[in-house]
Amino acid sequence: MNTILDVKNVTMKFGGVTAIDNLSFSVEKGEVYGLIGPNGAGKTTIFNIITGVLYPTEGKVLFEGKDITGTKPNRVVSKGVARTFQNIRLFKSMSVLDNILIGFDSYANYSYLEAIFRLPRYFKREKEIRDKAYKLMEVFGIDIFADNRATDLSYGNQRKVEIARAVATNPRLLLLDEPAAGMNPNETAQLSNIIHKLKSEFDLTILLIEHDMKFVNAMCNKLTVLDYGEKIFEGKPADAIVDEKVISAYLGDFKHA
């Protein structure tokens, strides 16, 4: 297997607070890798560092062997890394189809003049993009909502729209921030099947943050557990749930919730 993502000795400080403390982990191509831990453990901070939203105090991030530390978010996307967010971010006034078409922006490689004068290449490319969008919506089972305003959908379907839009950018690494949050057991099971399908059909490597341990166990080959920004475990999910440090971290979070 080849390493697709390498987080090396990353530390992130906000003033006197250390959010991430000398964290290292590697994700191999084709894996579904979990990043878990109690609330406030630093998981989303790591996503923000990987995707260029934050510049780490120390350390670096390598994607496919190249240093992308501090690369602007739009450039990170163009290099092949896409993400979703803990709080769903959709264009509220736009339809499901239009939200997903935005993800296909890089496919619209016709010129400005071709678009203005509606030349044949413009129409051909636009049809290809719409066809791709509909095929992607079919994978997620949301094609029947194509013309609906995205924010009128159920929470679970809005989450699917957001993930579909990320996949539309044609990533090789997909970062999912709590994809099953707010979903009922049936929706979670559907999402698990969709992610497995995406992984195989689109040749994706997936790094996910999730609190639903049943979902994590079903999805992940390997995981890293964080607690107060420190790595306390790395290995298989089955081993994590019996690890004393992991149990202590989650029980501590429960007691102080």
Mean pLDDT of the chain: 89
φ/ψ of residue 154, rounded to 5: -65, 160
Contact, 205 vs 16, CB < 8 A? no
pTM here? 0.90
Residues 114 and 141 in one domain: yes
77-119 residue pLDDT tens: 999 999 999 888 898 889 999 999 999 876 656 555 555 646 5
Q: What is the CATH number of the domain that holds 138?
A: 3.40.50.300
Q: Could you tell me which residues come within 8 angstroms of residue 100 by beta carbon, excluding any fewer than 6 positions away? A: 133, 136, 137, 161, 164, 165, 168
Looking at the fold, whether 141 and 35 belong to one and the same domain comes out as no
Q: Do residue 251 and residue 148 come from a single domain?
A: no
> Are 39 and 51 in contact, with CB atoms under 8 Å apart?
no
On whether both 54 and 177 belong to a single domain, the answer is yes
**What is the H or E stretch that residue 141 is in?**
none
DSSP state of 220: -
Query: Is residue 240 predicted with pLDDT exceeding 80?
Result: yes
Closest CA to 100 of 145, 60, 47, 49: 145
Indicate whether 190 and 254 sit together in one domain: yes
Total domains present in the chain: 2
* Together in a domain, 156 and 184: no
Domain that holds residue 139: 89-170
Q: Which of 151, 170, 189 is the last residue of a domain?
A: 170
Model confidence pLDDT, tens digit, residues 134-175: 999 999 999 999 999 999 999 999 999 999 999 999 999 999
Same-domain check for residues 96 and 153: yes
Max mean pLDDT among 67-76, 196-205, 240-249 falls in: 67-76
